Amino acid sequence: MGVLTVFLDKATNLADTDFIGKTDPYVIFDLKQDNWLQNRDYGYQRSSTKSNDLHPVYGETFIWKNIEDIENLVLKVRIMDADFGSRDDKVGNCTIQLDKLGLSSRPMNVDRVVDRNIFTANGMIHLRVSYDA
C-alpha cells in the first residue's frame, strides 16, 4: 500500500467573487480511483481559509494512506470562497490525472489552471505531489 502526499503551496490570481471585501479562499481535494469495474473513493480533505486574499499562501500538507496503486487515480481540486450565512461560491477547479504524472517518492511540482481568464492572468493552483509505493 502506498502513500500519496499533496503539498498545497499557494494559489495565484484568484477571481474576486465577493461583493464586499475580497475572496476568502479554501481548497478541497477529492481523491478517487476511476476503475472500470470497481471505483474507490479515498475521501476529501480541506485546507484552511485565507481571508481577503486573491493570492493565498497555504503551506499545508495532505496525506492519503493505503493507496493500492495510482492507475486511474484522479485528484479533483476545487477552490471555494467562504461566505458567511450563505452557500460558498466556486472560485475555480481542475482535475489532475495522477497516473499520467510519473510520480515517485520525490515531490513533483504540479501547477494547474483553475480559472481561465481572457483579460487577466489565469487563476492557478501550485502543488507538490509525491507517491511512495
Distances from the Cα of 85 to the Cαs of 79, 82, 88, in angstroms?
18, 9, 9
Please say if the pLDDT value at position 86 is more than 80. Answer: no
Which helix (H) or strand (E) covers residue 109, if one does? strand 108-115
Mean pLDDT of the chain: 93
2-132 maps to CATH 2.60.40.150: yes
C-alpha cell at 90: 466556486
Q: What is the pLDDT of residues 14-32, one digit of tens each?
A: 988 776 778 999 999 999 9
The domains of the chain are located at 2-132
121 or 83, which is more confident = 121
Are the C-beta atoms of 56 and 16 separated by less than 8 Å? no
Instruction: Classify the C-alpha dihedral 78-111-107-96 as positive or negative.
Output: positive
| Interval 9-14 mean pLDDT | 97
